[in-house]
Amino acid sequence: MTKSYFVTGTDTEVGKTVASVAIMQAVAKAGLLVGGYKPIAAGSDETHEGLTNEDAVCLRAASNLALGYDEVNPCLLHEPCSPHIAAELENKEIMFSVLTDGLKNIQAKTDFTLVEGAGGWRVPVTYDATLADWVKEEKLPVILVVGIKLGCLNHAYLTAEAIRRDGLEIAGWVANRINPGTEHYSDIVKTLEHHLQVPKLGEIPYMTKVKTRDLSAYIDVKPLGL
């Protein structure tokens, strides 16, 4: 049976896609068939394939099997804002059944499926539901991405607390250095290691054009049982 994990972050723009790509690259190098899944994406660009989302495109590229864009990203919203607002603007309804069907499709084709969330853990998909509600339904173990910056300790503590309160396992976490000027970087990471009490899968340093690089060397997938 395929292994599946959900990647969430301490906030938006903290490196969920970067960490997801790095994990997928490392798993692929371990010899497994890997597929990326971005169930909901808000924000689109016109490409030769039509409207696509940059993060979903990155996950598709990191997959080591052929997947159509719609397989990777079944729910594409055009406005780069909270999914529930973008959906309302487009008169769309985000349906968990569609997200689940897409997940099962990827799982049926892979040994390892990585599901990237949108925004943070409590991102709304309607005025009454969050994406976390769907993750709970699917009982997916969670990988937490912490964008290392001032304030990230509080964000990481609260996110981990919410995930555990929802009854889900935090399988590991990734430190992503999003600001090269952040002071006390090593002390922040040490504090997170002490508090989170789950395996650190890796630390991704700050670099330019990071989404186009081979990041597998920065990730240890052994804690995921691989």
Domain boundaries defined on the chain: 3-221
Q: Which of 139, 118, 142, 138 has the alpha carbon at shortest distance from 130?
A: 118
CB 27 within 8 A of CB 112: yes
- Written as six digits, the tokens of 71 are 């397989």
Question: Was 116 annotated as part of a binding site?
Answer: yes
DSSP letter for 209, please.
T
State mean pLDDT over 46-68: 95
Cα(65)–Cα(63) distance, integer angstroms: 6
Please state, for a pLDDT cut of 90, what percent of the chain lies above it: 93
pLDDT digits (tens, 9 = 90+) for 101-142: 999 999 999 999 999 999 999 999 999 999 999 999 999 999
Q: pLDDT of 8-30, one tens digit each?
A: 999 999 999 999 999 999 999 99
Q: What is the pLDDT of residue 46?
A: 87
Q: Which pTM was predicted?
A: 0.96
Residues 6+ apart with CB under 8 A from 214: 25
Amino acid at 17: T
Q: Show the tokens assigned to 89.
A: 């603007």
For the record, the structure tokens of 225 come out as: 């049982």
17 labeled part of a ligand binding site:
yes
Res 39: pLDDT: 98
57 annotated ligand-binding residue: no
Show the tokens assigned to 91. 């008169």
CA neighbor of 143 nearest in space, from 175, 176, 122, 173: 173
Taking the CB of residue 109, how many other CB atoms lie within 10 A of it? Answer: 16
Q: What is the pLDDT of residues 31-55, one digit of tens each?
A: 999 999 999 999 999 888 899 999 9
Give the integer Cα–Cα distance in Å for 45 and 65: 23
> If we measure between CA atoms, which residue out of 213, 149, 206, 145 comes closest to residue 180?
206
Note the pLDDT of residue 61. 97
From the list 3, 38, 200, 209, the catalytic residue is 38
What is the predicted pLDDT for the residue at 99?
98
Q: Is 15 annotated as a binding residue?
A: yes
Q: Is the pLDDT of residue 82 over 70?
A: yes
Q: What is the pLDDT of residue 137?
A: 98
For the segment 45-69, the average pLDDT, to the nearest whole number, is 95
Identify the pLDDT of residue 1: 65
Per-residue pLDDT at 83 exceeds 90 = yes
- For 138-162, what is each residue's pLDDT tens digit? 999 999 999 999 999 999 999 999 9
DSSP labels, 69-118 = HHHH-SEEESSSS-HHHHHHHTT----HHHHHHHHHHHHHH-SEEEEEEE
pLDDT score of 49: 85
113 is in an annotated binding site: no
149 is catalytic: no
Question: Is 119 marked as binding a ligand?
Answer: yes
Q: Is 143 exposed, middle or buried (0-12, 13-18, 19+ CB in 10 A)?
A: buried
Q: Domain 3-221, what architecture?
A: 3-Layer(aba) Sandwich (3.40)
Is the distance from CB of 150 to CB of 41 less than 8 angstroms?
Answer: no
